[in-house]
Amino acid sequence: MPKYVVGAILVVLVIFSSIFVTIVGGSTYMAEIPQSDLGKHHEEIWAHTGWNIHDPFMTGADAPTPASRGKTVFIREGCWWCHTLLPEQTQDWTYFGDPPEAGDVQGESPSLFGSDRKAPDLLHIGSRNRVKAWHYVHHRNPRAVTPGSIMPAFEYLSDEDMDALVAFLESLK
């Protein structure tokens, strides 16, 4: 066998094993992380008890809790394109609260960390803002309570959707 064939096989093996390690190794490692209490708490509200991506046609009406139904609205309306659920390892810690721990998002799908933040992080919105009426006004007319906001005014959301969405925000402690 010519030398370059051996070399090529070695290169392919190294490349594919490194891909394998990062996908499978990374995933199994993360799946074994024990959950913190906070994570267990989250799983009760979200996770498999609520909307999940395996059932995309579910409208959320069948979801067992208002909060899990609210997550459906949060995903459907694309709130997560601006609002992250990931306080990062920067000054975020003091402003948006603690970043999630390794087990906190276990059972979540989608995890909704977000990538493109154009609005406040919401992972701890339930603790930061407890005024229910504020949330209702804010969603219908954001600029009435926050001048300068660029959030869309969700005039078309039904009352049921709005109740669910606020319940979801309140669950994010």
Partner 1 sequence: MSFWTKNDYAEGTAAKHFFFSAIVMLVIGTLLAIITSFRLAWPDIMPNDIPWLHFGRVRPVHVHFVIFGWIFMAFAGAMCYITPALCKTKLWSERLGVWNCWAWNVGMVVVFITLINGLTTGREYQDLIWPVDIYVLLFILLPLAVNVWMTMLNRRTEGLYVTLWFFGAAALFIILTYFIGAIPDFFPVTGLSEAYMTWWHAHNVLGLWITPVSAAIAYYIIPKISGNTLYSHKIGHLHFWSIVAFYSTPGAHHLMGAPIPEWLKSFASVSGVLIMIPALAFVVNMLMTMKDKWWMFTRNISLQWALTGVLFAIPLNIQGAFQQTRTLNWYIHGTHWIVAHAHLALLGFSTFIEIGAIYYGLPKLLKRKLYSTKLARIHFWMTAIGFLGFWISLTGGGLVQGAAKVYEIPYIESVIATHPYMVGRAIFGLLIIFAQPLFLYNMVMTARKGERVEDDAPALQPAPATA
Residues of this chain that interact with partner 1 (CB under 8 A) are 11, 14-15, 18-19, 22-23, 26-27, 29-31, 33, 47-48, 53-54, 56-57, 75-82, 84, 86, 88-92, 94-95, 99-120, 142-143, 146, 148-156
Tell me how far, at minimum, the Cβ of 90 lies from partner 1, in Å.
5
For helices 159-171 and 132-140, the axis angle rounded to 10 degrees is: 130
Tell me how far, at minimum, the Cβ of 173 lies from partner 1, in Å.
17
Nearest-angstrom CA–CA distance, 53 and 55:
5
Residue 80, token pair as written in the block: 């997560």
Residue 146, token pair as written in the block: 């926050």
Q: Which residues pair with 119 in a beta bridge?
A: 83
Tell me how far, at minimum, the Cβ of 168 lies from partner 1, in Å.
13
Which of residues 52 and 66 has its CB atom nearest to partner 1 in the complex? 52
Which of residues 130 and 143 has its CB atom nearest to partner 1 in the complex? 143
Which of residues 50 and 66 has its CB atom nearest to partner 1 in the complex? 50
* DSSP secondary structure, 19-48, as one string: HHIIIIIHHHHHHTPPPPHHHHHHHHHSGG
Tell me how far, at minimum, the Cβ of 123 lies from partner 1, in Å.
11
Tell me how far, at minimum, the Cβ of 29 lies from partner 1, in Å.
6
Which of residues 13 and 130 has its CB atom nearest to partner 1 in the complex? 13
Nearest-angstrom CA–CA distance, 22 and 123:
27
Residue 86, token pair as written in the block: 């990931």
Q: Give residue 81's identity as a one-letter amino acid code.
A: W
Query: 75: buried, middle or exposed (CB in 10 Å: 19+, 13-18, 0-12)?
Result: middle
Which of residues 26 and 64 has its CB atom nearest to partner 1 in the complex? 26
